[in-house]
């Protein structure tokens, strides 16, 4: 019985993957995507362990709020600090932010957290990845997910660990992980998010140098062959750092004219 079920799911997924590669993209409204994201986010929060670290929670709150404000985007912002060793953080469409406790010690400073959130929020404000989501939606992938295939589907379809872990939650969260969070953005999109993220953090009152320091800290946190989660979707390279360095004079100007100055903020320990 179980075997037949698995076989069915496997065939359904194979069909999905085939149809996915040929079907045209459709227009899925942003409000529709944001509504799905909000559902997935609520599910992720309900099924995850929320951090009880008062100091870190307060830091995530204030940094996320400042970055959100600096973005000028009228999203229904939400923030959560999830208790998990994963070195990761993300922002869903519509401004649903998650930070995993595992990333905090790697960042070392509040300013580096501002750099990460600036970058992730920029992906959301620049509407990166919408096409892929629209395609998955048009292919009625949600139907497949509702049929309970998401947990296994995640193991088969996910390319990133981030997706695999979230897909274990099942339901809408898994669907969203597979259709939206399982992505490595293009180099061009990553570059835009780096640029915009550095501007957001500067406008929010954090020293934009921290966006450069961040990459050294991430690289240093590699233990053996295993790179931190965030690094697997954001490979560090010299080009990335030199671009951030070349944008620094402009970012510094923005920082200077920011209404508040927090520098690198508090240390994270
Ligand atoms: Zn990115």
pLDDT digits (tens, 9 = 90+) for 183-200: 678 888 999 999 999 999
The alpha carbon of 191 and the centre of ligand 1 are apart by a number of angstroms equal to 8
Distance 236 CA to ligand 1 centre (A): 11
Is 217 inside any structural domain? Answer: yes
What is the separation, in whole angstroms, between the first and last Cα of the chain? 51
- Known catalytic residue: 120? yes
Residue 86, in any domain of the structure:
yes
* Separation of CA 26 and ligand 1 centre (Å): 24
Question: What is the count of structural domains for the chain?
Answer: 1
Position 94 in a domain: yes
Percent of the chain with pLDDT over 90: 48
Q: How many CB atoms lie within 10 A of CB 158?
A: 19
Domain that holds residue 72: 52-127+185-256
116 C-alpha vs ligand 1 centroid, how far in Å?
Answer: 9
Q: How far apart are CA 157 and CA 150, in angstroms?
A: 9
Residue 240 belongs to some domain of the structure: yes
Confidence at residue 248, expressed as pLDDT on a 0 to 100 scale: 97
Per-residue pLDDT tens digits for 149-168: 555 666 666 777 777 787 77
Confidence (pLDDT) at 94 = 92
* Active-site residue, selected from the candidate residues 120, 190, 210, 229: 120
Residue 25 lies in a domain: no
Q: 214 alpha carbon to ligand 1 midpoint, in Å?
A: 13
The verdict on residue 92 lying in a domain is yes
Find the radius of gyration of the CA atoms of the chain. Answer: 19
120 touches 91 (CB < 8 A) = yes
- Give pLDDT < 70 ranges for the chain: 1-27, 131-132, 135-137, 139-157, 178-183, 223-226
Asked if residue 152 belongs to a domain, the reply is: no
Please give the full DSSP string across the chain, using - where no structure is assigned: -HHHHHHHHHHHHHHHHHHHHHSPP----HHHHHHHHHHHHHHHHHHSPBP--HHHHHHHHHHHHHHHHHHT-----EEEEE--S---EEEETTTEEEEEGGGHHHH-BHHHHHHHHHHHHHHHHTTTTHHHHHHHHHTTHHHHIIIIIHHHHHHHH--SHHHHHHHTT-HHHHHHIIIIIS----HHHHHHHHHHHHHHHHHTTB-TTHHHHHHHHHHHT-BTTB--HHHHHS---HHHHHHHHHTHHHHHHHHHTSS---BT-SB--
Ligand 1 centroid vs 103 CA: distance in angstroms? Answer: 15
Residue 118 lies in a domain: yes
Q: pLDDT at position 119, please?
A: 97
């Amino acid at each position: 019985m179980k075997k037949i079920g698995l076989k069915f799911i496997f065939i359904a997924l194979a069909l999905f993957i085939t149809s996915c590669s040929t079907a045209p993209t459709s227009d899925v409204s942003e409000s529709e995507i944001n509504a799905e994201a909000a559902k997935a986010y609520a599910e992720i929060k309900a099924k995850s362990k929320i951090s009880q670290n008062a100091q870190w929670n307060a830091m995530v709150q204030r940094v996320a709020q400042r970055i959100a404000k600096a973005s000028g985007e009228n999203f229904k912002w939400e923030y959560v600090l999830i208790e998990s060793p994963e070195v990761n953080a993300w922002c869903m469409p519509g401004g649903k932010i998650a930070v995993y406790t595992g990333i905090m010690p790697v960042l070392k400073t509040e300013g580096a957290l501002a750099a990460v959130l600036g970058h992730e929020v920029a992906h959301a404000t620049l509407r990166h990845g919408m096409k892929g989501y629209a395609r998955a939606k048009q292919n009625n992938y949600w139907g497949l997910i509702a049929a309970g295939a998401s947990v296994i589907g995640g193991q088969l379809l996910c390319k990133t660990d981030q997706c695999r872990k979230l897909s274990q939650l099942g339901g809408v969260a898994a669907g969203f992980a597979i259709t939206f969070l399982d992505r490595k953005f293009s180099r061009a999109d990553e570059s835009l998010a780096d640029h915009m993220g550095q501007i957001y953090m500067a406008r929010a009152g954090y020293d934009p140098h921290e966006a450069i320091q961040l990459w050294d800290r991430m690289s240093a946190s590699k233990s053996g062959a295993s790179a931190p989660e965030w690094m697997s979707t954001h490979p560090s390279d010299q080009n990335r750092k030199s671009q951030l360095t070349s944008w620094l004079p402009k970012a510094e100007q923005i920082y200077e004219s920011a209404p508040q100055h927090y520098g690198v903020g508090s240390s994270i320990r």
